[in-house]
């Protein structure tokens, strides 16, 4: 119930008022450039000429500080916040928490999660350009709540799509549930202003279709048994996978699900070809790492020449990696802004043993090494660097 006694349709929780106030209060912090840990456009260590930013610190402060220079200038915000699985988020915002543990259910504090995300989304909206878009990854724990606060902050009319991201193939323990097997995350996609959204419709081209049959030794043997020569066997496989299918297929809102969509899943990283453990020289994957190919699809759909892409829960830096890859592919010169809390890696983890003391260490080194590889592979003349800022 509002102060004026009028009831209205909204999601509320104890602490919502403080969360709103928090988005409007100023921060006492400031951004400090660290040239020594910055990376030049050409990938040279210790140079600070890049248009990309990497900010180490709490994203609430970072978003407030970014407002000054970037209000209305960010074309795409992609975030992958903690999903509120019970223990996956740190909540240090400086306002008194209501005494009741708000919205507790199965160890998940929905109210705390909402109070964490709500002010950040409000600030995020201010940074978006009028033709911009925001994409948020989420799973079943908070997807219903997220949808409601996104409607409230961005306006229900700006809801564009709920993208279903099929996580991967079924194997081992995943199949053990005595229920339908859970195998998807969602990505909520909103525009800042639906009339002005700059969306580029995309297709999967025939050459990129997910194959209906793979040329395995067993299949080739079978084709030989049936009397086909090697060349006829290859022709038959090509006919089934390509010639007998459409020239291109429009991308649906279910990804990694259709007979056409060969986007690799990252959920089962060992098959995806996107492992960062190998890149970083550690024997452990970064939990929650998102697929670079998936992010490239989002980036391609809503950004172009010189646009700014922001990820303020950047983790291992997948979004920065995807921006560089997409720039190398189409030369559009997008810039990225990554924000990440310098959260310590667990003391016994492979990451810590490998010299990565914080998640920022992982993210920054991933961007450096991914850039080096990309330059070696493509020779593309793009910005491989970032200016590194800490919050003081
Ligand atoms: C699910 S992970 C993101 C993973 C990322 N998409 C990737 O591909 O690696 C969420 C990240 O948000 C970070 N995070 C949580 N609270 C934050 C805050 N207040 N400010 C900045 N980062 C935060 C966590 O440390 C974690 O690394």
- Residue range 19-44: mean pLDDT, rounded: 96
Could you read off the pLDDT of 287-329 as tens digits, one per residue?
788 999 999 999 999 999 999 999 999 999 999 999 999 999 9
Residue 277 lies in a domain: yes
Mean pLDDT on 27-44: 97
| Mean pLDDT score, 80-107 | 64
Share of the chain above pLDDT 90, in %: 79
Query: What are the DSSP calls for 161-177, one per residue?
Result: EEEEEE-----GGGGG-
Measured in Å, residue 259 CA sits from the centre of ligand 1 at 32
Give the pLDDT of residue 90: 56
pLDDT at residue 269 tops 70: no
Spatial contact of 167 and 257, defined as CB atoms under 8 Å apart? no
For the chain, the domain total comes to: 1
C-alpha of residue 361 to centroid of ligand 1, in Å:
13
Residues 362, 280: contact at Cβ < 8 Å? Answer: yes
Question: Is 93's pLDDT higher than 90?
Answer: no
Cβ-Cβ contacts under 8 Å for 218 (sequence gap 6 or more): none
Residue 194 lies in a domain: yes
Q: Ligand 1 centroid vs 376 CA: distance in angstroms? A: 29
Dihedral of alpha carbons 143, 54, 359, 350, sign: positive
Q: Residue 96 pLDDT more than 50?
A: no
d(CA 42, ligand 1 centre) in Å: 27
Whether residue 119 lies inside any domain: the answer is: yes
222 is a domain residue: no
Please determine, for residue 177, whether its predicted confidence score (pLDDT) is greater than 60.
yes
Kindly state the percentage of the chain with pLDDT values over 70. Answer: 91
Residue 280 has what DSSP assignment?
H
Tell me which of 85, 124, 313, 321 to substitute to probe ligand 1's pocket, judged by most ligand atoms within 8 Å of the beta carbon.
Answer: 313
Quote the mean pLDDT of the chain.
91
Q: Is the pLDDT of residue 231 over 80?
A: yes
Atom 3 of ligand 1, residue of closest alpha carbon: 315
Name the residue range of residue 49's domain. Answer: 20-209+245-391
Instruction: Flag whether pLDDT at 3 surpasses 60.
Output: yes
pLDDT band at 95 (very low <50, low <70, confident <90, very high): very low
Tens of pLDDT, residues 181-228: 988 999 999 999 999 999 999 999 999 999 999 999 999 999 999 999
Report CA(90)–ligand 1 centroid distance (Å). Answer: 10
Whether pLDDT at 16 is above 70: yes
> Is there a contact between 356 and 281 (Cβ–Cβ < 8 Å)?
no
Higher-scoring residue by pLDDT: 105, 27: 27
Longest dimension (CA), the chain: 83
> Which ligand 1 atom is nearest residue 90's CA?
16
At residue 102, the pLDDT reads 57
What's 80's domain CATH number? 3.40.50.150
Q: How far is the CA of 115 from the centre of ligand 1 (A)?
A: 16
Q: Which residue, judged by its Cα, is nearest atom 12 of ligand 1?
A: 313
The rounded distance, in Å, linking the Cα atoms of 383 and 300 is 17
Structural domain includes residue 40: yes
Token pair listed for 221: 């043997």
Span from the CA of 315 to the centroid of ligand 1 (angstroms): 5
For a substitution probing ligand 1, which of 61, 285, 315 has the most ligand atoms within 8 Å of its CB? 315
Q: How many angstroms is it from 117 CA to the middle of ligand 1?
A: 12
Name the residue of 314, 320, 337 whose CB sits within 8 Å of the most ligand 1 atoms, as the mutation to test its pocket: 314
- Nearest CA, atom 13, ligand 1: 313
Pocket test of ligand 1: the residue of 341, 342, 365, 367 to mutate, having most ligand atoms within 8 Å of its CB, is 341
23 C-alpha vs ligand 1 centroid, how far in Å?
Answer: 19
In a domain, 103, yes or no: yes
Return the half-sphere exposure (C-beta side, CA atoms, 13 A cut-off) of residue 198.
15
Residue 92 has pLDDT above 60, yes or no: no
In a domain, 14, yes or no: no
Q: What is the pLDDT of residue 88?
A: 65
Q: What is the pLDDT of residue 9?
A: 87
- Per-residue pLDDT at 272: 62
Which amino acid residue places its CA nearest to atom 19 of ligand 1? 58
Spatial separation of the C-alpha atoms in residues 142 and 119, rounded to whole Å: 16
Q: Which residues does a 6 A CB cutoff place in the pocket of ligand 1?
A: 58-59, 80, 82, 89-90, 286, 288-290, 313, 315-316, 318, 339-341, 343, 359
pLDDT at site 265: 66
- Ligand 1 midpoint to CA 312 (Å): 7
**How far apart are the C-alpha atoms of 184 and 171, rounded to whole Å?**
15
Examine residue 379 and state whether it is found in any structural domain, yes or no.
yes
Contacts of 44 (CB under 8 A, 6+ apart): 385
- pLDDT given at position 139: 94
């Amino acid at each position: 119930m509002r102060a004026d006694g009028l009831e209205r349709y909204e999601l509320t929780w104890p602490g919502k008022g403080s969360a709103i106030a928090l988005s409007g209060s100023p921060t006492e912090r400031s951004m400090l450039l660290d040239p020594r840990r910055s990376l030049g456009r050409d990938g040279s260590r210790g140079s600070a000429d890049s248009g990309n930013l990497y900010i180490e610190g709490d994203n609430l402060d970072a978003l407030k500080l970014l407002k000054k220079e970037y209000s209305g200038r960010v074309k795409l915000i992609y975030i992958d916040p903690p999903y509120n699985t019970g223990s996956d988020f740190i909540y240090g915002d400086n306002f008194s928490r209501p005494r009741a543990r708000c919205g507790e259910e199965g160890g998940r504090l929905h109210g705390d999660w909402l109070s964490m995300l709500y002010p950040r989304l409000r600030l995020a909206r201010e940074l978006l350009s009028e033709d911009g878009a925001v994409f948020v990854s989420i799973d079943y724990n908070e997807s219903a709540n997220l949808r409601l606060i996104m409607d409230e902050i961005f306006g229900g009319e700006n809801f564009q799509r709920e993208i279903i991201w099929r996580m991967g193939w079924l194997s081992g323990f995943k199949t053990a549930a005595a229920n339908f097997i859970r195998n998807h995350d969602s990505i909520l996609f909103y525009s800042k202003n639906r009339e002005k959204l700059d969306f580029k419709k995309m297709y999967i081209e025939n050459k990129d279709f997910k194959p209906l049959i793979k040329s395995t030794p067993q299949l080739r043997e079978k084709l030989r048994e049936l009397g086909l020569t090697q060349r006829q066997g290859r022709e038959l496989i090509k006919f089934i996978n390509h010639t007998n299918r459409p020239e291109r297929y429009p991308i649906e809102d279910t990804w990694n699900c259709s007979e056409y969509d060969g986007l690799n899943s990252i959920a089962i990283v060992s098959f995806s070809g996107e492992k960062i453990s190998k890149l970083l020289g550690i024997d452990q994957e970064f939990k929650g790492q998102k697929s670079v190919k998936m992010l490239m699809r989002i980036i391609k759909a809503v950004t172009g020449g010189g646009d700014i892409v922001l990820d303020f829960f950047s983790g291992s830096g997948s979004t920065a990696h995807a921006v560089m890859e997409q720039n190398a592919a189409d030369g559009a010169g997008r810039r990225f802004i990554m924000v990440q809390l310098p959260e310590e890696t667990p003391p016994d983890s492979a990451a810590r043993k490998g010299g990565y003391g914080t998640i920022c260490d992982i993210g920054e080194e991933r961007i450096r090494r991914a850039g080096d590889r990309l330059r070696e592979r493509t020779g593309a003349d793009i910005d491989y660097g970032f200016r590194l800022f800490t919050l003081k």
